[in-house]
Amino acid sequence: MTEAAVLTRMLHAIDALDFATLRSSFADSVRTDYTSLWGGEPETVDADELVAGWRQLMLGLDATQHLTGPIVTVDGRLHTHVVAHHWRGGAAWTVYGHYIATVAGGKITELILETLQQEGNREIPALAREQPVRSGG
């Protein structure tokens, strides 16, 4: 599997609620940087904890769809634009951004989101974490 395919597989697994494939996309420890979306600081997290947090969010949504542009390699890291749609109860929250990922040994070791813009109901993530609306994985 190509490095680019690892990133694409990870995003498809999120949308499909395929948490086993999602977990297998990551090294055991992952440096994440979602500060442009959530604030805070970049952190290195255990992949099981990362997936558990995403699982809680995804099960609180009616559906998600992550769309990417071409994936290119720059200075050894993967770069792609992303549009991430999230729906819950007829409302939508969309994040437009740019992903940068480092892959080693077929696993993502670093994932950075550079958020460009958000649209819609920004309360959806908090609502989703409070109450699941579907089951999966």
Residues 26 and 129: their CA atoms lie apart, in Å, by 22
Could you report the per-residue pLDDT of 73-93, keeping only the tens digit for each? 999 999 999 999 999 999 999
Task: Sketch out the chain's domains with CATH numbers.
Answer: 3-130 (3.10.450.50)
- Residue 137 reports pLDDT greater than 90: no
C-alpha distance from residue 103 to each of 15, 18, 22, 112 (Å): 21, 20, 14, 12
Q: Model confidence at 134, in pLDDT bands (50, 70, 90)?
A: confident
What pLDDT does 62 receive?
96
42 — phi, psi (to 5°)? -60, 150
Residue of 11, 15, 43, 17 whose CA lies nearest to 136: 17
Could you report the per-residue pLDDT of 6-54, keeping only the tens digit for each? 999 999 999 999 999 999 999 999 999 999 999 999 999 999 999 999 9
